[in-house]
Structure 1
């Protein structure tokens, strides 16, 4: 496992602007003073961190330190002093996929295909290292730019964990709208839970909405149980590519044993569509 050198502070960087914030962290756009290179600096304030949050930060550092992959956001440095822990990350000028979908409403099928190929490539790298993400959602997928050659990158690995083949996880975590039913039902699960999340993201890209709705875990699960046969918006269903419909149905399969496996995802006819 690669260990990142830690410096005392952000003194080598110049803060440009705040690009995101939450209860425990702020994300800054910053430039390196020596060469002007752009970075995103994710700053966690230590006085706001409980032991669980500290574990999540160190999980993210651990996971990101293992990979240099075009579809996984890159970690360049970790800075720590008595006031904060800062992750110096690859800057993605296109923002997150959630904002992109909100602006576009729906995206062209060709764009959805491109994004899912990128997501699949990044996830394949994680799964090959026996890691599951457990919180795939548009907010955690970053876009390198808004240009035609945009690259999608997976980020936010605080809930990731190692899972050897044949083993299962049991902790309920993630975002309900993108969580697999086995997770919502407090059942054991494996990396197929990530594939359900991919299906929910694909559905949202092409239709402009999540496949199931609810304000909490229970409501989302009830929605999934009510509509186990995936429902597509009536206003657009006749114009949908049958390959897209089939891929969504096979990813958003209630029974994980019958859900599409990763090899069949990457070889699905949807990716051959014109």
Structure 2
């Protein structure tokens, strides 16, 4: 159930409104700038709940968002720190995420799927140009500026992202099993092409309305996936 903010709560220059999302260590609020009324999303993170690894991931996410400015990457407007909390003031996406859009359409028209995939490709090209790998691409992490077929898609949630130099390899097991590349699932070293597997899984879901593989956890997905090979 969504939390109700205290009446007139203010964070920096922003008047906080309703809750629009939550995670294990954060809550996301809709907010407006007190002067010019610009809508934003404020990701409120309780730093005391983060272990060292999660703190490093947060700092990495902030570094990436401060470094990149592109229409297909979620924009970081500001960072507001108070004792025990960090607030990331992010671009507000009225259309929600791509997962919600797929559910509303069941099967996305081919022209619309092409539109979204072209924008995803443009955002990923910027990451590649900056030697970055996302490692958690999935419909829930792709936000939409509006809820129509002309929406602008924006890559979000860079908590698992990291720098990966050309010909470099990563080996950390991370991501979401339904969209995870087989080399990651098999605990092998992998490169930036692992993101492309996730793109393929997203495209499959766009045009069919379902994920290419099923399972309630990583082990179930693993056995389901490798039963085809």
After superposition, where does 1:2-151 map in structure 2 within 5 Å? 10-151=11-152
Per-residue deviation, residues 224-262 of structure 1 (Å, max 9, x unmatched): 22224xxxxxxxxxxxxxxxxxxxxxxxxxxxxxxxxxx
TM-score by length of 1: 0.78
The answer for unaligned runs of 5 or more in structure 1 is 1-8, 229-274
Task: Give the distance between the partners of 1:13 and 1:87, measured in 2 at CA.
Answer: 12
Deviations 1:159-213 (A, max 9, x none): 0011111110000000000000000000000011000000000000100010011
Aligned Cα RMSD in Å? Answer: 1.2
Tell which structure's C-alpha radius of gyration is larger: 1
What is the distance in 1 between the residues matched to 2:157 and 2:26?
Answer: 13
Q: Does the 8 Å CA contact 2:12/2:80 hold for their aligned counterparts?
A: no
In 2: Cα distance, 1:149 partner to 1:102 partner = 17
Q: Which one has a larger percent strand, Structure 1 or Structure 2?
A: 2
After superposing on structure 2, the runs of 4+ consecutive aligned residues of structure 1 that deviate more than 6 Å are none
| Partner Cα distance (1:216, 1:168) in 2 | 25
CA distances 1:104-158 after superposition (whole Å, capped 9, x unpaired): 2111111111110010000011011110000000110000001342100000001
- Structure 2: 5+ residue stretches without partners: 1-9
User: Once structures 1 and 2 are overlaid, which stretch shifts more, 100-109 or 46-55?
Assistant: 46-55
Question: Number of matched residues?
Answer: 220
Equivalent residue, structure 2, for 1:190: 191
Return the alpha-carbon distance in structure 2 between the equivalents of residues 192 and 222 of structure 1: 22
